Structure 1
């Protein structure tokens, strides 16, 4: 059971407390009952399906002065032995509150409390009531990251995520662009034992050599020209939490060596500093490169692969996920009909057929933008095949190319364009694949006006 399905009874003679709790839980719980007189508890819990009783330790009535809460707790347990009771106490009553746990209270909370703490306590108490079978299912979904997928390939992915998320293993997430590697990383983090500590995401592929060190390792004041103050690096900021390095396949061999040193020694040295700082992080990494290409030692250090890749998982491309395409399309319809203040949308049969027949080179991201365009442009609340247009950016270039030429310069220009696009504009990687130096590639770019 979750809190939105729960019936809560609060018993306290302080009307201000009752008002505050009722106002807080109004949008969180199914029903909120309040009572100032503990004499009425029996009637309330026997005539209502109460999931949790919040019970004050002290009332102004003179029943067992100083122990009124314990008295009523025992009475409740006589009437309904399985009833969950949370005791409300002041700082001076901590010993009594601990005693109440021995008498069968589910937990206690000290007033004044933080609202977030109370919500968490109620949620945890409801969770403790749940049967082991249901608990297992709740554990499988204890995250606000929504990953949609009923296909066999996604079920296998979920199964693997459930196994590896609660461990401290470093994980390498593989998959094509647009498959949702970022979402998977956050899903792992939220199911991990480090979920209450920082989650830091870094797109390392976009960092220059200089930025790579200052951003990840931090720097001391005066370490370089613009270092006007001390700065904590992102690795240090992730201490005790999770560090997600996106597009790790795009970093240079020199950057790889520096990252490897940090992972091996579990300490980081800021630029301009002499002493290292110990760090305790869990590392998640992602790349769109196939593992066999990543394992090429001219491109990526094998010792670093072993460090970042205790377990690797592959997010399947959308074209291999079958009916997930329709599930995702309907999910995006709900999002964009609200965003653009449209009526409730549905997919026509012709739209579903068109969606299912497409190959999605841009994967889930391409489907998302396709549905968004359809919602904006559609003249009705039924999305038809003609409302669905796929991005020309993702279409194979050869479909729109003129008849191939045998001119060597034209062939060279085309090869350079394709390789640079493949590596998202990364000149170093493109030069490597073409068998050129960076300087030679730049000269050719200038020659062809690219």
Structure 2
């Protein structure tokens, strides 16, 4: 079954199984994984969220489970093939000495529904009850996570019997029981209002994803919703209390407003409204104070009656200030004061101070926001307040697996609206993954596919790249400068093919093909650029690169992937940080920051 045939529900629950014996973890593949997939698909509660709107044939098969190994290498796990798109992610984690460092890191990176641990680890980590202690810790730090013990040892007296699974002889049995208990744990996870509302909202907003980087954003939002999303306001205290404030930073079309709605759904403020104010409409201080805080009759010329303002209307809900980067500089002081102490006054009644009960979510577009920060027009105190809790959304071009998932989802959804069953060809998906999507990310992808589908839906049951390409002009705009810059910098001369062996000719042809596919050059231009690179540019750099990989004379050279990571660290350091490195490396500063944060947390 291809991806295009599946109506994908984007909520992806994660499940973790910990043990200190990799053989136990390996024994779960593929038997337990298959049982888990079948069990999840048979649970009406879970399958209803995972496969809402799926065709009958799609909904009957097992849930697709992706398996990852952490802390050990396993050929069995590596050879396991799941069908894309995956709907559940299973993490098999080997913890040496019971430190649980890997497990704690993973819990902070993704949204986990269940954690399964062996009971006993090494003596220096709590001995016979280390696994039980970790399960308790996970539930304390992440209350939505359901904990299970899977052990060959007797159940502790103080541990619930319905959450304990006894391993079979040799530690390899009980897979069916384990799968059933994990399914029940995921059901308990979904029974919690915050988790269920969160999963439902992901689908309602169409936040389709398969990448771990966007999954980390989703997990971060859920954690922040639990941390600062409480609607309880301390009573009997007049202390200055800053408003809960979250900043979502991303390029246009990355779904920032949908993420704000996701935050609202996951917090216990979901029963109160989510109120949206577009900062592009708040063109001066008077208008900002009137719309946000309200006004008294006669406060200005057209104030013919009292108005409460959006802050009052929000109550204990969430106030979304969309596109804060468009707010005039003079308004930043007013907004900063409001966020700093949560107090405000209606326009025309400054003698009365009111206390806001809402939480505030701000969204900014990465490029304009960075320009305003670098220009110095925004006060440092204001930036320190609004950027205290920051969620950076990676652009779509850095998430090729999400481009595929969204493209196939959109093709099926849009064609269904026209009463046809249209698929997207593999070539079209591959070419879409090479586009930069600099203008509006997911919105731009939707526009490209929408135009192609409306134009060609009567012609065939598969949409080819040739039909999509005329509407994807971005590839044409980005490809031409590369040919001009390389060819003009150093005039190419046709290499002599007589001295090349078969491998050299094949690799040069392959490089030209890769270049043409990645830049949309025509084959002849790609061949010209490849000859220039292979004959003049790359040979000049070869000795320097090889020399830098040999860091000690008596040691083997650094592996190339490791060398590439070190080079990126050096480049960002040499250029002074992610922002100044953005232009030279051709990588957005937010992506570089995310890459650095990911490597630091590993």
Query: What TM-score comes out, normalization by structure 2 length?
Result: 0.43
From 450, 468, 471, the counterpart of 1:390: 471
CA-to-aligned-CA distance 1:130-182 (integer Å, 9 cap, x gap)? 84443336626253433111112112222222211222142111111111111
Aligned to 1:148: 208
Residues 359, 267 of structure 1: alpha-carbon distance in 2 compared, 3 angstrom cutoff: same
SS across alignment from 1:243: strand
1:342 is aligned to 2:419: yes
Q: Which deviations, in whole Å up to 9, do the C-alpha atoms of 1:226-252 show, x marking residues without a partner?
A: 111111211221121101111112212
User: How many angstroms does 1:283 deviate by?
Assistant: 0.9
The SS at the match of 1:240 is coil
| Paired residues of 1:219 and 1:233 also in contact (CA < 8 A) | yes
CA RMSD of aligned residues (A): 3.0
CA distance in structure 1 between the aligned counterparts of 2:185 and 2:455, rounded to whole angstroms: 49
What is the SS of the residue equivalent to 2:227?
Answer: coil
Task: Look up the SS of the partner of 1:141 in the other structure.
Answer: helix
Deviations 1:388-412 (A, max 9, x none): 1335589759969xx9xxxxxxxxx
What residue in structure 2 maps to residue 310 of structure 1?
388
- Tell me how far 1:335 sits from its aligned partner: 2.6
Judged with a 3 Å threshold, the aligned counterparts in structure 2 of structure 1 residues 398 and 254 are, in CA distance, closer, same or farther, namely farther
Q: How does 1:290-301 map to 2 (within 5 A)?
A: 293=371, 295-296=373-374, 298-301=376-379
Return the match for 1:180 from 241, 246, 255. Answer: 255
Deviations for 1:259-289, whole angstroms, at most 9, x for unmatched residues? Answer: 1122223122111123122211111111113
SS in 1 for 2:339: helix
2:413 matches 1:355:
no
Shift of 1:207: 2.0
- Residue 294 of structure 1 and its aligned partner are, at CA, apart by 5.0
Confirm whether residue 287 of structure 1 aligns to residue 340 of structure 2. no
The change in CA–CA distance for 1:5 and 1:334 in structure 2 (over 3 A counts) is closer
How far apart, CA to CA, are the structure 2 residues paired with 1:307 and 1:282? 14
Q: Does 1:375 align with 2:450?
A: no
Moved more, 176-185 or 294-303: 294-303
Report the Cα distance in structure 1 between the residues aligned to 2:249 and 2:394, rounded to whole angstroms.
9
Aligned to 1:229: 305
- Is the contact between residue 435 and residue 475 of structure 2 (CA under 8 Å) also seen in structure 1? no
Name the residue aligned to 1:276.
353
Within 5 Å, give how 1:429-448 maps onto structure 2: none
C-alpha contact (below 8 Å) 1:185/1:244 kept by paired residues: yes
- Distance across 2 between alignment mates of 1:135 and 1:386: 48
Instruction: Indicate if the aligned counterparts of 1:267 and 1:277 stay in contact, CA closer than 8 A.
Output: yes
> Are positions 1:255 and 2:331 aligned together?
yes
**Aligned 1:402-413 pairs, distance under 5 A:** none
Larger proportion of helix = 2
CA distance in 2, matches of 1:180, 1:205: 18
1:191 maps to 266
- Distance across 2 between alignment mates of 1:178 and 1:298: 26
CA distance in 2, matches of 1:183, 1:395: 30
SS at the partner of 1:172?
strand
Q: Contact 2:248–2:362 (CA<8 Å) still a contact in 1?
A: yes
Aligned partner of 1:327 in structure 2 is 405
1:164 maps onto 2:224 in alignment: yes
Which of residues 136, 139, 153 in structure 1 aligns to 2:189?
Answer: 136
Is 2:293–2:345's contact at 8 Å kept on the other side of the alignment?
yes
Runs of 5+ consecutive residues of structure 2 not aligned to the other structure: 1-42, 49-182, 229-243, 485-602
Query: Does the aligned pair in 2 maintain the 1:326–1:356 contact within 8 Å?
Result: yes
Map 1:201-216; keep pairs closer than 5 Å. Answer: 201-209=276-284, 210-216=286-292
C-alpha contact (below 8 Å) 2:321/2:363 kept by paired residues? yes
Deviation at 1:219, TM superposition (A): 1.2
* Cα deviation code 1:43-84 (max 9, x no counterpart): xxxxxxxxxxxxxxxxxxxxxxxxxxxxxxxxxxxxxxxxxx
Assess if the C-alpha contact under 8 Å between 1:284 and 1:308 holds in 2.
no
Where 2:433 maps in the other structure, the secondary structure is helix
Cα 1:398–1:256, aligned 2, differ >3 Å: closer, same or farther?
farther
Flag the structure with larger Rg.
1
8 Å CA contact retained: 2:437, 2:474: no
Contact 2:452 2:471 (C-alpha < 8 Å) held by counterparts? no
2:290 and 2:44 mapped to 1: Cα distance? 44
Cα contact 2:45–2:187 (8 A) shared by 1 = no
* Residue deviations 1:331-375 (CA, integer Å, cap 9, x gap): 212332233x23111011221222122121121110011111111
Partner of 1:72: none
C-alpha contact (below 8 Å) 1:167/1:193 kept by paired residues: no
